[in-house]
Amino acid sequence: MNTWYLAQLKPNSLNIASRHLHQQGFETFCPTEEVTRRVSGRFVKKTQALFPGYVFVSLDPTAGLWKSVNSTRGITKLVSFGSAPAAVPTGLVEGIRKRCDAEGKLVQIEPFKPGETVQLTHGPFADYIGTIEKIDRSKRIFILMEMMGAKTRVVVEETQIKSCPA
38 and 82 in a single domain? The answer is yes
Beta strands per DSSP E along the chain: 3-9, 27-29, 32-39, 42-49, 54-59, 75-78, 117-120, 129-135, 141-147, 150-156, 161-163
Query: φ, ψ for residue 120 (rounded to 5)?
Result: -75, 140
Specify whether 14 is located in the same domain as 79. Answer: yes
Distance (Å, whole) CA 90 – CA 95: 9
**Whole-angstrom distance, CA of residue 15 vs CA of residue 39:** 25
Predicted pLDDT at 7: 96
The pLDDT score that the predictor gives to residue 76 is 95
Query: What three-state secondary structure class fits 109?
Result: coil
Contact between residue 118 and residue 164 where contact means Cβ atoms under 8 Å apart: yes
CA distances from 87 to 13, 60, 61, 122 (A): 22, 11, 9, 33
CA dist 1 and 9 (Å) reads 24
Query: What is the domain-level CATH number for residue 88?
Result: 3.30.70.940
The verdict on 124 and 71 lying in the same domain is no
| Same domain as 77, residue 12 | yes
**Does 66 lie in the same domain as 21?**
yes
Q: Are residues 127 and 74 in the same domain?
A: no
> CB–CB of 26/57 below 8 Å?
yes
Domain extent, residue 130, equals: 117-163
User: In terms of domains, do 87 and 137 share one?
Assistant: no
pLDDT at 51: 93
Q: Give dist(CA 135, CA 156) in Å, integer.
A: 10
Statement to judge: residues 91 and 25 lie in one domain: yes
Q: What is the pLDDT along the chain (166 residues), one digit of tens a residue?
A: 789 999 999 999 999 999 999 999 999 999 998 887 788 888 888 899 999 999 999 998 787 778 899 999 999 999 998 888 899 998 999 999 998 888 889 887 667 888 889 988 888 888 889 999 988 877 788 999 988 888 889 888 888 888 886 5
| 110 in any annotated domain | no
